Amino acid sequence: MEENLQDTQPELTPDEADASLFYTEDGHVVGELVSHVGELIEDSNGDALAELIEPLHESELGDLLEALPPQYRSGLIRLTGDRFDFSSLTEIDEAMRLEIVNELPNEQIADVVAELESDDAVYILEDMEESDRDEILSMVPFEEQTRLRRSLEYPEETAGRRMQTEFIAVPPFWSVGQTIDFLREDDDLPERFHEVFVVDPSYKLMGHVALDRILRTQRKTKIASIQEKSVHPVDANLDQEEAARILEQYDLVSAAVVDEHQRLVGVLTIDDVVDVIQQEADEDIKRLAGVGDEELSDNVLSITRSRFTWLFLNLITAILASLVIGLFDATIQQMVALAILMPIVASMGGNAGTQSMTVTVRALATRDIGTYNMFRTIRREFLVGLLNGCSFAILIGVVSAIWFSNTNLGVIIGIAMIINMLCAALSGILIPIALDRMKVDPAIASSVFVTTVTDVVGFFAFLGLAAWWFGI
């Protein structure tokens, strides 16, 4: 598909080029744009480069950076200089971002950080070496430096790290007219905002007023008379996933972030929340597969190290399953059909357990499972496992009986299928719940335990029944 799109792209001179022509309808970078940008970098044509990327949104510019060969990325930034949108660095993965900023002088990064919104600046600074970060912050104006240091003091993946420290706060005794004049005349305001916060002299949060409410109210009206109580302020030390859940649950566009003394320190906006939700979902999916925090731009050695531990644990569980099989080696030698059918029982149990585990882990992450519905959910999974077990027991029992002309073998594998499907369904929900109660991330550890249970139970049930039934 990409080749066809490239074939249809017109040959453009640098003056005629428009980067938007090199994007597919679903937002993917067409290869010809990468080649065109590479040629301009090799020619050191900064003006043409700047003109080419100027229409791009920061996310599209991030896509372009990811598509460029490593040797061209810093060249693109160097040649376009102040005309490069550095907020695009927040749209690329950590390894690539560090690679880019490490090639830039700290003086240039300091200039960039001073111009970016605080949440974007923190996003770039937080992964850098502490010595480089301190040097960069020392070159930033004092007021901005103070705000950034305060955000960086909060733990990683908390609301304090993700918040934007630019916000608008007014005292309750101001009138609507004073507030409107302030919004019009002050040059040091956030680029976009949806509400004005109300604070007391010690900056403790009292409430907020939506912009539309301000615009519809008479100028003489006091802010105190139209403010709404901020019933869902977010603690700065709250985990970012929990903070995102608050905005999602209450359909908030933004939320005040407060410190331990209930003083207003920042605001968490919906664009940050969308990024957090995507990031957390991405982490959960990767952890279920045992690939950790790996990024597409990571090198071979780091990816190998990331995956080795998980694969090693799976090797241990596979050996455990093999030991169970070894207990019935004499049985298998006398009935080769058992060796042929064994993988079916284990595989079906593993897949059923994965289905139950995936639904449970996601429900735990979104707090959809609680004390009020836990037993109802467990009963549901039990019944689903029982019904699926019976259905597939009949199916594989009939197939096995016809295949090996042995009705008894069909009955044995059918019973084993029911037992393993039931164990798979229960382990798929009980193991994640137990891990969550023990404060262990179920996304990380559930898979290896569920796989072990389904393999061991499946082999033991099938081979044990066969040994008992046939007296082998």
pLDDT in tens, 17-33: 455 545 555 555 556 77
Helix %, strand %, coil % of the chain (to 5): 65, 10, 25
The dihedral region occupied by 197, where left means phi > 0, alpha psi between -120 and 50, and beta the remainder, is beta
Q: Which stretch of 160-174, 282-296, 326-340 has the lowest confidence by average pLDDT? A: 282-296
Residue 121 vs residue 304, higher pLDDT: 121
Q: Can you give the pLDDT at residue 412?
A: 94
C-alpha dihedral (88, 94, 96, 101), degrees to nearest 10? 70
Same structural domain, 307 and 232? no
What mean pLDDT is reported for the chain? Answer: 85
Contact predicate 437/303, CB 8 Å: no
Residue 163 resides in a domain: no
Q: Can you give the pLDDT at residue 308?
A: 80
Same structural domain, 54 and 199? no
Using DSSP, state whether 402 is helix, strand or coil: helix
Residue 98 resides in a domain: yes
For residue 415, is pLDDT > 90? Answer: yes
Instruction: Place 3 in a pLDDT band, splitting at 50, 70 and 90.
Output: very low
For residue 228, is pLDDT > 80? Answer: yes
In tens, the pLDDT along 275-330 reads 888 877 777 777 766 666 666 667 777 777 777 877 787 788 888 888 888 888 88
Residue 48 resides in a domain: yes
Q: Cβ–Cβ contacts within 10 Å for residue 358, how many?
A: 19
For residue 7, is pLDDT > 80? Answer: no
Query: What tokens were used for 449?
Result: 């335990």
Q: Which of 257, 289, 321 is the last residue of a domain?
A: 289
CA distances from 40 to 53, 73, 334 (A): 12, 12, 73
> What's 277's domain CATH number?
3.10.580.10
User: What is the DSSP secondary structure assignment for residue 90, as one 8-state letter?
Assistant: G
Query: How far is residue 135's CA from residue 97's CA, in Å, rounded to a whole number?
Result: 18
Same structural domain, 304 and 267? no
At residue 263, φ and ψ (nearest 5 deg) are -85, 140
Q: Tell me which residue range forms the domain holding 31.
A: 2-156
Contact predicate 378/428, CB 8 Å: no
Mean pLDDT, range 130-140, rounded to an integer: 91
Q: Which of 289, 310, 340 is the last residue of a domain?
A: 289
Same structural domain, 283 and 318? no
Q: Can you give the pLDDT at residue 31?
A: 66
Q: Percentage of residues in the chain with pLDDT exceeding 90?
A: 37
Same structural domain, 76 and 223? no
Instruction: Place 380 in a pLDDT band, splitting at 50, 70 and 90.
Output: very high
Q: Can you give the pLDDT at residue 11?
A: 46
Q: Which of 239, 260, 289 is the last residue of a domain?
A: 289
Using DSSP, state whether 273 is helix, strand or coil: helix
Residue 72 resides in a domain: yes
Query: How far is residue 426's CA from residue 13's CA, in Å, rounded to a whole number?
Result: 64
> What's 15's domain CATH number?
1.25.60.10
Mean pLDDT, range 76-91, rounded to an integer: 88
Question: What is the identity of the amino acid at 390?
Answer: C
Query: How far is residue 293's CA from residue 284's CA, in Å, rounded to a whole number?
Result: 10
- The CA-CA-CA angle for residues 234, 359, 441, to 5°, reads 55
Of 345, 469, 451, 356, residue with least CA distance to 395: 345
For residue 1, is pLDDT > 60? Answer: no
Q: Can you give the pLDDT at residue 8?
A: 40
State the first-to-last Cα distance of the chain, in angstroms, to the nearest integer: 59
In tens, the pLDDT along 244-287 reads 888 888 888 889 999 999 999 999 988 888 888 887 777 777 77
Query: How far is residue 283's CA from residue 281's CA, in Å, rounded to a whole number?
Result: 5
Same structural domain, 324 and 265? no
Residue 295 resides in a domain: no
Residue 164 resides in a domain: no
Q: Can you give the pLDDT at residue 397?
A: 94
Residue 162 resides in a domain: no
Q: Can you give the pLDDT at residue 290?
A: 67
What are residue 228's DSSP bridge partners?
208
205 HSE (CA, 13 A, CB side): 28
Sequence-separated (6 or more) residues with CB below 8 Å from residue 241: 157, 276, 280, 365
Same structural domain, 202 and 279? yes
Of 352, 342, 319, 333, residue with least CA distance to 424: 352
Mean pLDDT, range 194-222, rounded to an integer: 93
Query: What tokens were used for 105?
Result: 């002088």
Same structural domain, 403 and 344? yes
Report field, pTM of the whole predicted structure over 0.85:
no
Same structural domain, 355 and 269? no
Mean pLDDT, range 97-116, rounded to an integer: 88
Q: Can you give the pLDDT at residue 14?
A: 41
> What's 433's domain CATH number?
1.10.357.20
Question: What is the identity of the amino acid at 47?
Answer: D
Using DSSP, state whether 267 is helix, strand or coil: strand
Q: Can you give the pLDDT at residue 207?
A: 92
Same structural domain, 327 and 442? yes
Contact predicate 206/196, CB 8 Å: no
For residue 4, is pLDDT > 50? Answer: no
- Domains identified in the chain, total number: 3
Same structural domain, 229 and 361? no
Q: Helices in 86-210 by DSSP H: which ranges?
A: 94-102, 106-115, 118-125, 130-138, 142-153, 159-162, 176-185
Residue with tokens 């003394």: 261
Contact predicate 182/209, CB 8 Å: no
Same structural domain, 115 and 218? no
Instruction: Place 172 in a pLDDT band, splitting at 50, 70 and 90.
Output: very high
Residue 202 resides in a domain: yes
User: What is the DSSP secondary structure assignment for residue 252, as one 8-state letter?
Assistant: -
